[in-house]
Amino acid sequence: MPDTAVAALAPDIAASNTSLRAYLHGLPGVDEVGARARAADLATRSIKTTAKRAAIDLAIRMVDLTTLEGADTPGKVRALCAKAALPDPQDRSVPRVAAVCVYPDLVATAVSALAGTGVGVASVATAFPSGRAPLDAKLSDTRRAVVDGATEIDMVIDRGAFLSGDYRKVYEEIIAVKDACGAAHLKVILETGELVTYDNVRRASWLAMHAGADFIKTSTGKVSPAATLPVTLVMLEAVRDFRAATGRQVGVKPAGGIRATKDAVRYLVLVNETAGPDWLDPVWFRLGASSLLNDLLMQRTKLTTGAYQGPDYYTLD
Ligand SMILES: O=C[C@H](O)COP(=O)(O)O
**Span from the CA of 220 to the centroid of ligand 1 (angstroms):** 7
Residue 103: partners with Cβ closer than 8 Å, 6 or more residues away? 68, 72, 123, 124, 128
68 lines ligand 1 (CB under 6 A): yes
Residue whose CA lies nearest to ligand 1 atom number 2: 288
Closest atom, ligand 1, to C-alpha of 68 = 4
Quick check: bond before 225 cis, omega within 30?
Answer: yes
- Report CA Rg, the chain: 19
At 311 the pLDDT is: 65
To the query of whether residue 187 is one of the catalytic residues in this protein, the response is no
- In a 13 Å sphere around the CA of 51, the CA atoms on its Cβ side amount to 7
Per DSSP, the residues of 44-70 read: T----HHHHHHHHHHHHHHEEEE---T
CB environment 282-316: b (16+ within 10 A), e (fewer): bebbbbbbbbbbbbbbbbbbeeeeeeebeeeebee
At 316 the pLDDT is: 57
At 249 the pLDDT is: 97
173 within 8 A of 138, measured Cβ to Cβ: yes
296 lines ligand 1 (CB under 6 A): no
To the query of whether residue 48 is one of the catalytic residues in this protein, the response is no
At 21 the pLDDT is: 95
Coil vs helix vs strand at 290: coil
To the query of whether residue 169 is one of the catalytic residues in this protein, the response is no
Residue whose CA lies nearest to ligand 1 atom number 8: 290
Which phi and psi angles does 278 have, rounded to 5°? -60, -25
Closest atom, ligand 1, to C-alpha of 257 = 9
**Span from the CA of 67 to the centroid of ligand 1 (angstroms):** 8
Closest atom, ligand 1, to C-alpha of 101 = 1
At 48 the pLDDT is: 85
256 lines ligand 1 (CB under 6 A): yes
**Span from the CA of 61 to the centroid of ligand 1 (angstroms):** 16
Choosing from 88, 141, 154, 158, which is the catalytic residue? 154
Query: What is the amino acid identity at position 279?
Result: W
Domain 27-305 - what CATH class? alpha beta
Q: Pick from 197, 225, 229, 213: which is nearest to 284 by CA?
A: 213
At 242 the pLDDT is: 95
pTM of the model: 0.94
Choosing from 83, 253, 295, 317, which is the catalytic residue? 253
Distance between CA 297 and CA 108 in Å, rounded?
28
Distance between CA 266 and CA 229 in Å, rounded?
8
What average pLDDT values come out for the chain (317 residues) when binned by 10 residues? 49 84 95 96 88 96 97 98 97 97 98 98 95 96 97 98 96 96 98 97 97 97 96 98 94 98 96 97 98 96 80 65
At 12 the pLDDT is: 75
